[in-house]
Structure 1
Amino acid sequence: MTVAFPDITPAIRAGAPNLRGRLLANPSLADLTWFRVGGPAQALFTPADEEDLAHLLAGLDPEIPVTVIGLGSNLIVRDGGIPGVTIRLGGKAFGAVEIDGDTLRAGTAVPDMRLAKAAAEASLDGLAFFRGIPGSVGGALRMNAGAHGGETTDVLVEARGVDRRGALRRFTHEAMGFTYRHSAAPEDVIFTSALFRGRPGDRAAIEAEMARVTEAREAAQPIRERTGGSTFKNPPGGKAWQLVDAAGCRGLTRGGAQVSEMHCNFLINRDGATAADIEGLGEEVRRRVHETSGVALHWEIKRIGVSADGSTPTFT
């Protein structure tokens, strides 16, 4: 049974009396993640626009933690939920793509797949790889998302966001500090939009490349399951799935969670799994891989919130 957090929404409204977005106390987050697991948000805020987001952050008690979630495709929300304010961007203010010559400005709630489609429709090459990433632009910025030979760093010009004090910030490509599946941008910044640059290309050829990416993804990944995408980052010079397979973890289960038989760098909610089942299974896989190969796998899936007992796991 999930225990509700104390209601902090009255205090939030007192500090930011002109909020226009939607503010909810203790809504379940399970339906907002692809794994379909997790507890409630103590407060869930969906801002009307960038100005509304800045108003909330400027008036929010600095002691209240802030967490951002996107499409929930690369995310485990633990069973006890998320303390503080959880922010989820959506709607027209954060979901539009505007094209100007060879550039595209996209809100961070735009799905990566839609960004790829918009680029193809404008005959802009270089962004087709986004078709293979089941997340949003915001997540792509935060983790330098990539697939099929391309990465966010290859096409980003600049990003825009709001920091914890409610101040608008702009980041050049260099300031993002991209490395493999990582950005060095300040953790307290909530990205709101990004500017990408493509290169003129042939629409039919770009769409053919996107179709190839789609076909490869459907053939190799359990995309119709309740999953979170690639579980572990590839270690230098290696493939995470090969290490997991060699450790005998393909098909391994814990509670209702399972290592995918189809692609063993994917975990799936097979049968009523809890977040603890899924995260615990991932940790067991890490243990076995380290035991058999000496390699320490690192999570690619983001894990947030507290356990059912209110504690925060110390997994790395």
Structure 2
Amino acid sequence: MAFADPTSDWLQSLPDLRGRLSANAMLSDITWFRVGGPAQVLFTPADEADLVYFLKSIPADVPVFTMGLGSNLLVRDGGVRGVVIRLGRGFGTIEVLGPDRLRVGTAVPDVKVARAAGEAGIAGLHFYRGIPGSIGGALRMNAGAHGVETKDVLEYVRAVDRAGNVHELSVADMGYTYRHCSVPADYIFTQATFRGQPGEPSEILKQMEEVANYREQNQPIRERTGGSTFKNPNGHSAWKLVDQAGCRGLRVGGAKVSEMHCNFLINDAEATAEDVERLGETVRARVKATSGVTLNWEIIRLGEPVEGRPTGEALAELSNTGAGKQ
């Protein structure tokens, strides 16, 4: 599917734009699942000022979405209408502010934040070693692992809204709950300041190695996956519910529930995005039928299906009637 290309007109009205615009850019090339259609426009801003200039200048009715490393994202096969903004080098700085504080750009991978904090002797951020993706996604999802969440170490955030206005937010402004923040969806996080505690670099490194070893032994990190698929419901572990519903190893087309950790879906046979979403919805339906618990997606699903194809819970109905390969 190809969308209409507005970039020529935009470039004429944006003479001072320094970032890169690409029309009909395939997002399957830059997401971890390696599935999905194109972005109508993919924009990589040079820095925060360039982002502000772009958002203030393009038509107000153009939808805008933001992605980081594409680790927790399922792009549907029809692609994404509007603009997908991918933050790059201009948002990749790391600055040590003192014995317990760190300021980073939101394009920085979580693992690099953990490493920088450890080298600086800042304890408390070691858990980011086990979280795939970038800091922007961690802020939006209140990412956490091993008993620590983003809200526990975050101090301040900078963000740009759809109209190009810059905001500075405290951790209290983020409205954090489990894997959720209440900041408007159109805010694009550009920078974050974290506060840990002074620590011994060698001890922090040891903690990071323990996190990395746990992930290596328990998660399918070498597969094409989107990380944890479903949020843990109150009082339950998502993977246990999936396992109890008999879904470990379940396949739909080219997508499969990981046998190593069944809260991970993997693309192991040239899956389509519909295969992956259908598999996830089938798992949700079976868990609901066996336990009465509704699983909610942790992976973000973005974009449109191929014309005429369903999305969401209707896909589970297709699988249950035999239309899906299982």
Question: Normalised by the size of structure 2, how large is the TM-score?
Answer: 0.94
Aligned residue in 1 for 2:214: 216
Aligned residue in 2 for 1:290: 288
1:292 is displaced (CA, Å) by: 0.2
1-side partners of 2:133 and 2:238: how far apart?
Answer: 20
Q: CA RMSD in A?
A: 1.2
1:128 aligns with 2:129: no
Aligned residue in 2 for 1:106: 104
Aligned residue in 1 for 2:173: 175
Q: How does 1:51-200 map to 2 (within 5 A)?
A: 51-91=49-89, 93-101=90-98, 102-200=100-198
Taking a change above 3 Å as real, the CA distance of residues 119 and 310 of structure 1, as seen in their structure-2 partners, is farther
2-side partners of 1:173 and 1:231: how far apart?
Answer: 26
User: Contact between 2:281 and 2:312, CA under 8 Å: does it hold in 1?
Assistant: no
Aligned residue in 2 for 1:23: 21
Structure 2: tracts of 5 or more residues without a match = 315-326
1-side partners of 2:3 and 2:49: how far apart?
Answer: 28
1-side partners of 2:8 and 2:244: how far apart?
Answer: 53
1-side partners of 2:309 and 2:158: how far apart?
Answer: 34
1:311 is displaced (CA, Å) by: 6.6
2-side partners of 1:113 and 1:145: how far apart?
Answer: 13
2-side partners of 1:54 and 1:10: how far apart?
Answer: 20
1:314 is displaced (CA, Å) by: 4.7
Secondary structure of the corresponding residue to residue 27 of structure 1: strand
User: Contact between 1:21 and 1:46, CA under 8 Å: does it hold in 2?
Assistant: yes
Aligned residue in 2 for 1:50: 48
User: Contact between 1:244 and 1:264, CA under 8 Å: does it hold in 2?
Assistant: yes
1-side partners of 2:47 and 2:275: how far apart?
Answer: 36
The partner residue of 2:38 within 37, 40, 45 is: 40
Taking a change above 3 Å as real, the CA distance of residues 190 and 99 of structure 1, as seen in their structure-2 partners, is same
2-side partners of 1:86 and 1:187: how far apart?
Answer: 13
Q: Figure out how many residues of one structure are paired with residues of the other and give that number.
A: 313
Q: Percent identity among equivalent residues?
A: 60
1:247 aligns with 2:245: yes
Taking a change above 3 Å as real, the CA distance of residues 157 and 112 of structure 1, as seen in their structure-2 partners, is same
Secondary structure of the corresponding residue to residue 26 of structure 1: strand
User: Contact between 2:277 and 2:311, CA under 8 Å: does it hold in 1?
Assistant: no
Structure 1: tracts of 5 or more residues without a match = none
Question: Normalised by the size of structure 1, how large is the TM-score?
Answer: 0.97
Q: Which residue type is aligned with residue 139 of structure 2?
A: L
2-side partners of 1:306 and 1:312: how far apart?
Answer: 9
